[in-house]
Amino acid sequence: MIDLDTFRADARAWLATMVAEFGRDARRGLTDEQDLALGRRYMAAKYAAGFAGIHMPKEFGGRGLSGLHKLVFDQEEAPLGFPTVYFGISLGMPIPIIMKFCEDKAWVRERVIAALKGEEIWCQLFSEPAGGSDLAGLRMKAEEDGNGWKLNGQKLWTSHAHQSDYGIIVARSDPTVPKHKGLTYFWVDMHSEGVEAKPFPLLDGTIVCNEVFFDDVKLTDGQRIGPVGGGFGVAMATLMIERYVASDADGFGPTIPFFVDFASEVEFNGRPAIEDGRIRSAIARNYALRNGLRSIRDRAFLMMEAGMEPGPEGSLSKLVSVRSRQKLCELAIDIQGGAGLAYDREAFGQEDWIASWLSCPTGRIAGGADEMLLNTIAERILGLPQDHRPDKGVPFNQIPA
Amino acid sequence: MTILYDEAQQAIATESRRVLDDGYDLQRLLDLVDETGQHDERLWQSAVEQGWTALSVPEQYGGLGLGLVELGLIAQGLGAVTAGAPFLSGNDAFVQLLLAGDDKGTREAWLPKIAAGEAIGIAALGEGSSPLPAEPAVTYADGKLTGTKSAIAGALQADVGVVWASSGGSPALVLVELTKGMRRAVDSFDNARLYAELVFDGASASVLLSGDPAREAARDGLARQAVVIAHEQTGGAEKAMQIARDYALERKAFGQPIGAFQSIKHRIAELYGLVELARANCIDAAAREGEADFVLKACAARLSASEAYDTAARDAVQIHGGIGVTWQLGLHLHMRRARSLAAELGSPLFWEDLLVGELEGAGA
């Protein structure tokens, strides 16, 4: 296997040749559609260059390298601001899930390669109006229909659903048993009759999330992933993958070195802001925190390489990193005072304090709200008692609405 | 160096924990709080028997020749039991500074004794609130040392020290044998740390290193000591968090364990986060010794471990309610130790500044 330093150098050299066509500056002024098209071209180029599916098995069209190689590539790619956002969830959770669970390997291989090339996009249809933090409380109905299934109901907060070709979905196949036991997991074709995705803007103006309506959508039983009634288990496996995919020590926001540069250039009280003790304190504490997260992540990857199960501390990343990002964004705006009020709507979130700040609340809610993560840590890791749950053990259709 | 512990390192962690748990004596620790000049000699004897004093001494001087990772693991164990013998990190700092010098005679004179537990060494670098002043007020001239060093852990029982001093306008690391008259006991809120100021009034001493090499060695030595103490803090923080967790499971109020209330369980979950971040920073720093970013990583470890221990100790007491503030329960041993360890080697305020300085340097 190619060593990490050589791999990093290769990646860096290749990425440098892509900046003019796909970098931040090239994306300025594009419509969402144009940007997505640019993103698809980038993914195709990435596939051709051998940097797609870096840690995915060769049999499915990946390169068969380690998770650390993937991490190295991501570290090099992320600061360049390429249009990859459309493919993050797609390749992060649904693709690994179909690789792991679907039996028609030839079909899976086709899907994986199409997703790696950016030709197809997958979404993850989990949350609903009545089931976000309480995922198992979802109401999407899956009824047996001949040899297959029929879906009726609504999903919510589904990122990129309006741009997706396929989705993975959890639905209630049996309302007469307690809520965790009556769920079944499927993949769906988002172009099927009866599927309608309606995008809506979030508070920062970005249009990523959708309401998705299912009206008598027919599925074959071959689209089922895992056993009937075993959907919650597959959903948990999906979220376990998400823990590492959706993990970035900087909370997907500006880095500490970026803040240091900023605080060295901008003045406060007539001196470089970085000379102010309060600002130094914030930098130091946030650096220490993020360095800890990086160390946890690196250790987890090393353990996985060595065939060991990484420790549960990996679950801290999302909880801790986005809070850090939120506070540092607030401080950056504070340092500038009135000069910090101007907002460039096209700014890149990793290099703009306001753009980053506006999307922080999403980061603290999507993929598990802070409060849910704390519950999970307390209950699963520390063995503290569960909250009082009046719906526990009660058949779903007898839970008071 | 890898950041995964190997089997030998894991065995050191397990075995040291076992020894420390076996020797744990709450009453003895409570007694030590109020006495200056006393430490837990039984614990120290078992430390010597276990070879912990020899751990980082090179083999040629009768030591085991192990590194910062192993030392950190022992320190974590000591932190967990709020050990009443503060010699591990000071001894190691002394050893490192002696090794940084090029005087074979002093190494041969002192290192075997340190390894065998026959002598205790310290590094006396700090003055006032700074653990390493740029221009130390303690001066060395003509074989004599003059001035005062601020409270140093273990100094009340130490036999020998390396002192950070000014010598003719440039810094120097100076070796001095310590006598009773030089130690001025500090009666503190955590007397088991054996704090003493060192007052030199023409004490006879010899230069180990001077100028820039001395500055570099002192800085590396301080960073290394910070990493060892950070492990100790992390061990204490983890223990305080576990004590809080166990109590929250056992104590009932309003018809359920108090750990079922989110105000309690979330607080303990936050402690878990702080402890794991501190541990991760410690592991990272211990693996970076000798690298260009070692001081930066040491700062991160020191800061996150100080925060973890202070918060865990504070919250553990709070979660216990009334029983937490009693003398006899002994939770205050963690509260005291969290503060003393945070303050004794440059407080977080110092390490914050140093960390940002390192980041600025890296960018320049």
CATH number at residue B246: 1.20.140.10
Domains and CATH numbers, chain A: 4-121 (1.10.540.10), 123-240 (2.40.110.10), 246-368 (1.20.140.10)
Taking the CA atoms of B220, B223, B224 and B225 in sequence, report the sign of the dihedral they define: positive
Q: What is the pLDDT of residue A310?
A: 81
Q: Is A264 in Cβ contact with B363 (below 8 Å)? A: yes
Residue B260 lies in a domain: yes
In B46-159, DSSP assigns E strands to 121-124, 139-141, 144-152
Residue B330 lies in a domain: yes
Residue B310 lies in a domain: yes
In whole angstroms, what is the distance from residue B345 CA to residue B339 CA?
11
The C-alpha of B243 sits at a distance from chain A's nearest C-alpha, in angstroms, of 11
Q: Choose the closest CB to B281 out of A260, A295, A302.
A: A295
Q: What is the pLDDT of residue A246?
A: 55
Distance of CA B46 to the CA centre of its chain: 19
Q: Which residues of A touch B4 (CB under 8 A)?
A: 299, 302-303, 306
Residue B53 lies in a domain: no
Taking residues A259-277, report their average pLDDT.
Answer: 96
Residue B90 lies in a domain: no
Which residue range is the domain that position B325 belongs to? 216-363
Active site residues of A: 242
What is the ipTM score, two decimals? 0.95
Residue B273 lies in a domain: yes
Q: What is the pLDDT of residues A57-84, one digit of tens each?
A: 999 999 999 888 998 899 899 889 999 9
In A50-189, DSSP assigns E strands to 122-125, 141-145, 148-156, 166-172, 183-189
Q: Which residues of B touch A385 (CB under 8 A)?
A: 249, 256-257, 259-260, 265
In whole angstroms, what is the distance from residue A265 CA to residue A258 CA?
11
CA distances from A324 to A79, A165, A293, A319, B280 (A): 19, 35, 11, 9, 17
Tokens read off for B18: 């076992």
Q: Is A378 in Cβ contact with B268 (below 8 Å)? A: yes
CB-based contact (8 Å) between B300 and chain A?
yes
CB-based contact (8 Å) between B269 and chain A?
yes
pLDDT at B337 exceeding the cut of 70: yes
Taking residues B304-330, report their average pLDDT.
Answer: 98
Distance of CA A344 to the CA centre of its chain: 25
The model carries a pTM of 0.94
Residue of chain B nearest A314, judged by CA positions: B276
pLDDT at B173 exceeding the cut of 70: yes
Q: Choose the closest CB to A284 out of B273, B279, B356.
A: B356
Residue B251 lies in a domain: yes
The C-alpha of B355 sits at a distance from chain A's nearest C-alpha, in angstroms, of 6
In whole angstroms, what is the distance from residue B114 CA to residue A184 CA?
66
Angle of helix B68-80 versus helix B262-287 axis, rounded to 10: 150
Residue B185 lies in a domain: no
The C-alpha of B331 sits at a distance from chain A's nearest C-alpha, in angstroms, of 20
Q: What is the pLDDT of residue B364?
A: 45
Q: Choose the closest CB to B280 out of A277, A296, A385.
A: A296
Overall domain count for chain B = 1
Q: Is B356 in Cβ contact with A274 (below 8 Å)? A: yes
Q: Is B351 in Cβ contact with A293 (below 8 Å)? A: no
Q: How many CB pairs under 8 A join A and B?
A: 142
Q: Which residues of A touch B268 (CB under 8 A)?
A: 378, 382, 384
Assign A137 a pLDDT band (cuts: 50, 70, 90). very high
* Type of residue found at A97: I
Q: What is the pLDDT of residues B39-63, one digit of tens each?
A: 999 999 999 999 999 999 999 999 9
Distance of CA A125 to the CA centre of its chain: 13
Q: What is the pLDDT of residue A71?
A: 85
Residue A104 phi, psi (nearest 5): -80, 90
